[in-house]
């Protein structure tokens, strides 16, 4: 007998072919399948007779099939299926499908059917292209309602998922509800069975919103439980008190070739005071592109190393880790520090102004013995074979926007690093280059203290930004020529690596094709480099090194350059198809230039010139842009749901500050009364699974 814990392998109708795909999606039981939520809905709830009044609208109509046939076009290797129905008023609709000849088997002439889609006209008939369909005798599942659309995988369609869930949904009546009843009553949240019924097959838009709110609250409640748990765990741990050596820091700051901003001074002071405490610092340094996070991190590392302890810096990519290594070697060139770079591709040690390659085992021994003061790397640093002698500070550079789950995991991991010091854990400083509105910071980083760099260095020239339509393209190319003749360099950014077969992406200039076009037709007199995500780390490093050393005048790249690559001589960035990117991402791209003394320029090439791009011309303030982006696109796209690890529904509700505050208050209250969740075993189990969903990328 089936229940929610039954393996999908034991469900009739789910064959081995489907099982393999479902397991790839992480769906192993009936419960997993029922909790696989739609990411959007097609609104086919408007059921109307055929009429010119509805042309151009998405509708559902029904009628008797009076004609049905498959037309085979042998030359084009295509089958066109045509079905004509007549509604109760005698109006006729021609429905057409491409390469789906099996449709005829479902609809013999004389039977009745429902079709949903955008209504058009074709000669004497009304028309629909590729409509959703089902027999009129069946319950409305694919037509005549708000139709759920799921993330699909090879061989599995939304229609197939709907069919399975419709059959299995009654089993949710026996699904235990992890949200305590008193919380559900307090906030008028539906039980889990009602919620899932309305999420998958909503009766109407109002009931759908209520169900989504319940799911969003549940996810935020788990997030807040997790972050509060980690915060409590951090506060209960001991760390090494690192005394604030005012003379050391003043001397370092006075010898910098620039003056710190007030925001940098304030953030540095907050961090140095945190390091003096006996329990670990747990702070987020949230700053705009170019606001000077690196120097603030350097001040905290200098204080820690000078007190006799080790520091570790983690970056999200090998290219960025290598760049940090070079930056910190330069920053600390007048100090007798040993600095190491440890990633899967690099094992380098900087000692007495020289870099040398070493074997991994030799480097690990140097780290374990304490001969290395500062270790920089990727997440390779938290592998089990990496042991420290006296690690007291971990800095995580999150420039590519890790989400809440990965954040929680990284925080937990810093507690379990073999730091060589008994009964203490390292202080933790996290940095992010995406300016995050405060409301989102509460939700995503609820367990951290917050320092904000909202002030740019005085010598920074604002980047001139211009939206460029096709008619102005040649003018900009001429401007680029003039900049290169002044020995400046240029970035050209594109959204894809290769031409996609997907119809919606055909107009996107692929990076390889564009590199070829620019090299041959537009800038044959200049040297062009090519960078994209499919290159190996060493190859990317080589390309960036060549660009940095001015062996290329122009670098044509995909969005891999979004993450902190520093080329002070680059003064121009061109972003193709800029309308395809979010404002926050465009701002990150723009931050690749404007790092030197010269005036820099950002050109947003677009065919459509959407109004939302105008803010890019008006301001260089990342916090203002991120607030604007949040209003336009919502938090899901702002962070990226993949990075966040949260379902789309929870992401969509992240700008609902009230919901976050309620979830946090309830989580706090629950943990105060039942810190180990012994009285809430279902919640404890859900929280454990929530933590297990986390993956480091």
Q: What is the pLDDT of residue 25?
A: 86
Q: Is residue 692 part of a domain?
A: no
Q: Indicate the Cα dihedral angle 315, 320, 321, 327, nearest 10°.
A: -120
Does 196 lie in the same domain as 113? no
Q: What is the pLDDT of residue 139?
A: 84
Q: Is residue 345 part of a domain?
A: yes
For residue 418, what is the DSSP state?
Answer: B
Q: How far apart are the two ends of the chain, measured CA to CA in Å?
A: 39
Q: What is the pLDDT of residue 659?
A: 82
Angle, alpha carbons 641-642-643 (nearest 5°): 90
Q: Is residue 680 part of a domain?
A: no
Q: Count CB atoms within 10 A of the CB of residue 235.
A: 12
Does 333 lie in the same domain as 436? yes
Q: Is the separation of the CB atoms in 268 and 299 below 8 Å?
A: yes
15-70 pLDDT, tens digit per residue, is 999 999 999 888 999 999 999 999 889 899 899 999 999 999 999 999 999 999 99
Residue 198 lies in domain: 8-40+167-209
Q: Is residue 475 part of a domain?
A: yes
Closest C-alpha to 406, from 438, 379, 437: 379
End residue of a domain, out of 587, 619, 651: 619
Q: What is the pLDDT of residue 430?
A: 87
Angle, alpha carbons 555-355-557 (nearest 5°): 10
Does 180 lie in the same domain as 58? no
Does 428 lie in the same domain as 369? yes
Q: What is the pLDDT of residue 505?
A: 39
In three-state form (DSSP H/G/I as H, E/B as E, the rest C), the secondary structure along 99-132 is: CCCCHHHHCCCCCEEEEEEECEEECCEEEEECCE
CATH number at residue 447: 3.40.50.300
Does 416 lie in the same domain as 307? yes
Q: What is the pLDDT of residue 222?
A: 87
Token reading at 232: 């409590």
For 72, 317, 501, 589, 695, the CA distances from 643, given in Å and listed in that order, are 45, 15, 26, 19, 10
Beta bridge partners, 489, equal 570
Token reading at 66: 């009076």
Q: Is residue 640 part of a domain?
A: no
Query: How far, in Å, CA of 227 to CA of 411, rounded?
Result: 10
Q: Is residue 685 part of a domain?
A: no
Backbone angles phi, psi at 27, to 5 degrees: -105, 110
Instruction: Give the global pTM.
Output: 0.68
Does 448 lie in the same domain as 470? no
Q: What is the pLDDT of residue 496?
A: 57
Q: What is the pLDDT of residue 499?
A: 39
Does 51 lie in the same domain as 29? no
Q: Is residue 388 part of a domain?
A: yes
**How many CA atoms are closer than 13 Å to the CA of 373, on its beta-carbon side?**
20
Below-50 pLDDT ranges, the chain:
399-408, 497-509, 641-644, 694-697
Does 348 lie in the same domain as 441? yes
* Domain total of the chain: 4
Does 369 lie in the same domain as 420? yes
Closest C-alpha to 396, from 285, 307, 279, 266: 285
What crossing angle do the helices spanning 262-275 and 293-306 adopt, rounded to 10°?
Answer: 30
Does 379 lie in the same domain as 526? no
End residue of a domain, out of 594, 619, 644: 619
Backbone angles phi, psi at 515, to 5 degrees: -60, -45
Residues written for the chain: 697
Closest C-alpha to 487, from 530, 544, 529, 527: 527
Does 342 lie in the same domain as 482? no
Q: Is residue 607 part of a domain?
A: yes
Does 58 lie in the same domain as 30? no
- Order the strands of the 58-73 sheet from edge to edge: 120-122, 125-129, 92-98, 78-86, 58-73, 112-118, 132-135
End residue of a domain, out of 601, 619, 637: 619
């Amino acid at each position: 007998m089936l229940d929610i814990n039954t393996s999908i392998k034991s469900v009739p109708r789910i064959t081995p072919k489907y099982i393999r795909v479902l397991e790839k999606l992480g769906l192993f039981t009936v419960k997993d399948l029922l909790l696989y939520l739609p990411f959007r809905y097609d609104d086919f709830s408007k059921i109307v007779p055929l009429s010119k009044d509805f042309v151009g609208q998405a509708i559902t109509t029904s009628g008797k099939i009076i004609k049905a046939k498959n037309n085979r076009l042998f030359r084009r290797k295509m089958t066109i299926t045509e079905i004509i129905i007549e509604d109760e008023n005698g109006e006729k609709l021609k429905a057409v499908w491409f390469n789906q000849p099996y449709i005829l088997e479902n609809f013999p002439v004389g039977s009745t059917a429902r079709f949903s889609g955008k209504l058009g006209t074709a000669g004497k008939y009304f028309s629909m292209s590729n409509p959703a369909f089902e027999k009129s005798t069946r319950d409305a599942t694919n037509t005549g309602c708000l139709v759920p659309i799921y993330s699909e995988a090879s061989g599995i369609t939304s229609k197939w998922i709907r069919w399975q869930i419709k059959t299995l949904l009654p089993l949710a009546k026996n699904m235990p509800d992890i949200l305590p009843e008193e919380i559900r009553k307090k906030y008028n949240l539906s039980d889990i069975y009602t919620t899932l019924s309305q999420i998958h097959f909503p009766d109407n838009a109002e009931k759908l919103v209520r169900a989504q709110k319940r799911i969003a609250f549940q996810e935020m409640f788990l997030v807040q439980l997790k972050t509060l748990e980690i915060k409590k765990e951090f506060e209960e741990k001991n760390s090494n008190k690192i005394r604030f050596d005012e003379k050391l820091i003043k001397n370092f700051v006075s010898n910098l070739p620039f003056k710190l901003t007030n925001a940098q001074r304030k953030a540095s002071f907050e961090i140095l005071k945190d390091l003096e405490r006996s329990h670990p610092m747990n702070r987020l340094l949230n700053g705009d592109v170019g606001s000077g996070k690196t120097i603030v991190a350097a001040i905290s590392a200098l204080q820690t190393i000078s007190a006799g302890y080790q520091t570790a810096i983690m970056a999200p990519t090998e290219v960025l880790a290598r760049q940090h290594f070079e930056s910190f070697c330069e920053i600390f060139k007048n100090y007798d520090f040993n600095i190491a770079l440890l990633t899967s591709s690099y094992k380098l040690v900087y000692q007495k102004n020289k870099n040398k390659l070493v074997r991994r085992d030799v480097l690990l021994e140097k780290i374990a013995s304490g001969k290395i003061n500062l270790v920089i790397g990727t997440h390779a640093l938290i592998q089990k074979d990496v042991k420290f002698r006296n690690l007291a500070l971990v800095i995580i550079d999150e420039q590519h926007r890790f989400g809440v789950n990965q954040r929680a995991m990284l925080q937990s991991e810093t507690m379990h690093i073999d730091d060589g010091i008994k009964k203490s854990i390292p202080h933790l400083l996290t940095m992010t280059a995406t300016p995050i509105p405060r409301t989102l910071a509460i939700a995503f980083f609820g367990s951290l203290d917050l320092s904000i760099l909202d002030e740019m260095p005085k010598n920074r020239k604002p980047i001139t930004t211009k939206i460029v339509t096709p008619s102005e393209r040649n003018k900009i190319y001429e401007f680029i020529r003039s900049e290169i003749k002044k020995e400046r360099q240029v970035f050209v950014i594109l959204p894809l690596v290769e031409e996609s077969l997907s119809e919606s992406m055909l107009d996107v200039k692929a990076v390889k094709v564009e590199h070829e076009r620019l090299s041959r037709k537009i800038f044959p007199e200049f040297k062009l480099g090519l960078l994209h995500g499919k290159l190996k780390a060493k190859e990317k490093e080589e390309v960036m090194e060549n660009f940095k050393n001015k062996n290329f005048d122009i670098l044509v790249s995909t969005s891999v350059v979004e993450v902190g690559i520093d080329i002070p001589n680059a003064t121009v960035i061109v972003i193709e198809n800029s309308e395809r990117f979010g404002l926050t991402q465009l701002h990150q791209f723009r931050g690749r230039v404007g790092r030197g003394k010269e005036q820099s320029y950002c050109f947003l090439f677009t065919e459509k010139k959407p109004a939302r791009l105008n803010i890019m011309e008006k301001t260089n303030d990342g916090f203002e842009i991120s607030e604007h982006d949040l209003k336009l696109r919502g938090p899901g796209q702002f962070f990226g749901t993949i990075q966040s690890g949260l379902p789309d529904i929870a992401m969509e509700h992240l700008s609902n500050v009230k919901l976050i505050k309620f979830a946090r208050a309830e989580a706090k209250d629950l943990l105060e009364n039942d810190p180990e969740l012994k009285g809430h075993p279902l919640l404890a189990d859900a929280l454990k699974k929530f933590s297990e969903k986390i993956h480091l990328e």
